[in-house]
Amino acid sequence: MDLPAYLARIGMDAAPAPDAAGLAAMQRAHRLAIPFENLDIPLGRGISIDPAIVFDKLVTRRRGGYCFEQNQLFLRALRAAGFDARPLLARVWLMADGMPPLTHTFNLVTIGGREWIADAGFGGSFSPPMPLEDGATSQMADGTAHRLVRRDGGWMLERAGDPGATDGRSQDTRDWQPQYSFTTAPVEGIDLELSNHWTSTRPGTRFLTMQIVSLILPDGFAALTDRQLSLHRAGVTESRPIQDAADYRTILASIFGLELSVEEVDRLSRT
């Protein structure tokens, strides 16, 4: 793991201290710098989680990736920075129809005997590291909130509110929805390989039928879903359609920092 190169990619001059504040700073810097995106799937390249390939893609070539790429890179960086961390797998319940498979990975970090969940690879609104404790909550400036609840022998991460939903209600009276469920059972490399393969190849699923790009902004986040751009900033949401391939390429570069070739964007525009 080339930690200096990773830190330069996320805009940090040096590795933070391996404590709760350092974990929070590193996760936020990662989310601000590296977009969540699945564009290699519609481009026909698939998703590899070989560590060298992930590093080359997300750090050297300054692309983005989805959870199996993002959180693998984040995990290796955490360990290189002195954190005690390991991967977990989760079932995503947002928009699920029946029992969802294990299609999300994130990290469990232990600091001074206290466990934290740290997720640098769930697209959309930012969620900071949270202590693995029943009832732990986070509230973001864009109007969304998250909380952890013990459930069925494991854990459920719930979310409430949408970007810009400043309705004034307390977290206790909001309508909480399940985001993903998980246990802290050990996860092996082959488990991640299997889940990544299903997630990146299963016909008819979200990542096979949609082109998704998102990035955390200092005051919200930006999302590009197929031909629709949405900007959520300081409680205000703006949305507009993509005009053409040139507009698409400009947005990818100017908002998400993704420099794709004309040929790649033309191919994406036709799918």
- In DSSP terms, 225 is beta-bridged to 212, 228
Q: How far apart are CA 234 and CA 30, in angstroms?
A: 20
- Closest by Cα among 230, 227, 247, 250 to 238: 230
Q: How far apart are CA 257 and CA 48, in angstroms?
A: 21
pLDDT digits (tens, 9 = 90+) for 189-232: 999 999 999 999 999 999 999 999 999 998 889 999 999 999 98
| Residue 167 zone, left/alpha/beta (φ > 0; ψ -120 to 50; rest) | alpha
What is the rounded average pLDDT of the residues 45-49?
Answer: 96
Cα angle 165, 255, 177; round to 5: 30
Residue 84 annotated in active site: no
Cα angle 19, 123, 193; round to 5: 80
Q: Sign of dihedral through CA atoms 58, 67, 46, 255?
A: negative
Q: How far apart are CA 124 and CA 95, in angstroms?
A: 14
Catalytic annotation, pick one of 30, 40, 67, 142: 67
Residue with tokens 């740290």: 118
pLDDT digits (tens, 9 = 90+) for 99-149: 999 999 999 999 999 999 999 999 888 889 999 999 999 988 777 899 999
Phi then psi for residue 262, to 5 deg, are -60, -40
- Can you give the pLDDT at residue 269? 83
- Can you give the pLDDT at residue 248? 95
| CB-CB contact of 157 with 144 (8 Å) | no
pLDDT at 167 > cutoff 70: no
Catalytic annotation, pick one of 30, 119, 146, 232: 119
Residue 152 annotated in active site: no
pLDDT digits (tens, 9 = 90+) for 235-245: 788 999 999 99
Residue 191 annotated in active site: no
